[in-house]
Structure 1
Amino acid sequence: MSSSDASLPAEPVGFAIDLTGHEMTRRAHVMAALGDDWDPVAALRGEEEAYDLLYSGLDEEQQRLYDALVAAGVLPRR
Structure 2
Amino acid sequence: MNQDNATGPIPFTIDLTFEEARRRAEVVAALGPDWDPVAVLRGEDEAYALLYSGLDAEQQRTYDLLVAAGVLPGEEPGRAAAH
Question: RCO higher in 1 or 2 (8 Å CA, sep ≥ 6)?
Answer: 2
Match of 1:62 in 2: 59
TM-score normalised by structure 1 residue count: 0.75
* Aligned length, in residue pairs: 70
Structure 2, unpaired ranges of 5+: 1-5, 76-83
Alpha-carbon deviation of 1:71? 0.4
- Give the Cα separation in 2 of the matches to 1:8 and 1:63: 66
Aligned alpha-carbon RMSD (Å): 1.8
TM-score normalised by structure 2 residue count: 0.71
Percent identity between the two aligned chains: 70
Structure 1, unpaired ranges of 5+: 1-6
The equivalent position to 1:53 in structure 2, one of 32, 50, 54, is: 50
- Give the Cα separation in 2 of the matches to 1:61 and 1:15: 58
